[in-house]
Amino acid sequence: MSEHLQYLGLSEENLPQASKLAERVFSYLLPSAVRPDACFRASLDPTKLDELNRKIDGESEAEKRLAPQLQYWIATLRGRIVGVTGLYRTVDDNPDVRWLGWFCLDDSPEVRGQGFGDELIQFTIDQARREGTKILRIETSDVPEEQIAQKVYEKAGFRIASTEPHPSHGHNWIIRERNLEE
Ligand SMILES: CC(C)(COP(=O)(O)OP(=O)(O)OC[C@H]1O[C@@H](n2cnc3c(N)ncnc32)[C@H](O)[C@@H]1OP(=O)(O)O)[C@@H](O)C(=O)NCCC(=O)NCCS
């Protein structure tokens, strides 16, 4: 692979395109308050984070409120936004824990299948380390849409910590984690 992704922090300017991309890639997810667009807006505006947490409270006891340390980045290729990645904590997590958020690449053939998934996860791991993260976790699942992601995660050292049947989905939740101190 000769080309590499470039990265920028999520901003008011690139948010609309980042949301469009992530909402399209994650359109298979069930309706929920925790959508890419809502998370991206909450990362830039504390009042939007409060709004999102109120919706999370009203939605289900299983969903945890998000802590203010919400960060997202966009990945570009030849100036085009082609990917998104992020880090978040819930209010119940220890300060040295982060979760991977809305990790995805545009589903076009010139972007997917080029090894950029590995680059994007390595960038996110580096960012997590810079934030002092010791344990990086991923909430993923065995739905067909997330099969390739499992390869990327496994190769990047994220081991399965637990699996749990999804009550309404017919698939299993998978929690993966990697100790970034090892
Ligand atoms: C996860 C994602 C970012 C990976 O990027 P990608 O461009 O598809 O994958 P890569 O080119 O980096 O390849 C990763 C691995 O998958 C393999 N792979 C890629 N496309 C494949 C395909 N269509 N069929 C089978 N294997 C494939 C690659 O060969 C590589 O494995 P290897 O290193 O053993 O050779 C991307 O697939 C995506 O956005 N998926 C949807 C969103 C998602 O699942 N996010 C995570 C939610 S938890």
Instruction: Copy the structure tokens of residue 135.
Output: 């344990």
Stated as kind and residue range, the H or E segment containing 24 is: helix 15-25
Is 119 a member of any domain?
Answer: yes
Q: Is residue 29 part of a domain?
A: yes
Which of the listed residues 35, 151, 155 should we mutate to test ligand 1's pocket, taking the one with most ligand atoms within 8 A of CB? Answer: 151
Residue 142 Cβ inside 6 Å of ligand 1? The answer reads no
The answer to whether residue 34 is domain-embedded is: yes
- For residue 43, being part of any structural domain is answered with yes
Structure-block tokens of residue 88: 């978040």
83: domain range?
A: 6-136
- Is the C-beta atom of 116 inside 6 A of ligand 1? yes
Ligand 1 centre distance from Cα of residue 15 (Å): 24
CATH number, domain of 55, equals: 3.40.630.30
Please indicate, yes or no, if residue 179 is contained in any of the structural domains.
no
Determine the longest span between alpha carbons in the chain, in angstroms: 48
Residue 93 within any structural domain of the chain: yes
Q: What is the pTM of this model?
A: 0.96
> Which tokens hold the place of 59?
């939605």
Structural domain includes residue 178: no
Q: Quote the number of domains for the chain.
A: 1
Closest by CA to 84, choosing from 109, 51, 110, 121, is 121
Q: One digit per residue, pLDDT tens: the chain, 182 residues?
A: 579 999 999 999 999 999 999 999 999 998 888 999 999 999 999 999 999 999 999 987 778 999 999 999 999 999 999 999 999 999 999 999 999 999 999 999 999 999 999 999 999 999 999 999 999 999 999 999 999 999 999 999 999 999 999 766 679 999 999 999 98
> Is the CB–ligand 1 distance for residue 149 below 6 Å?
yes
Residue 95 included in any domain: yes
Give distance in angstroms: CA of 165 to centre of ligand 1. Answer: 23
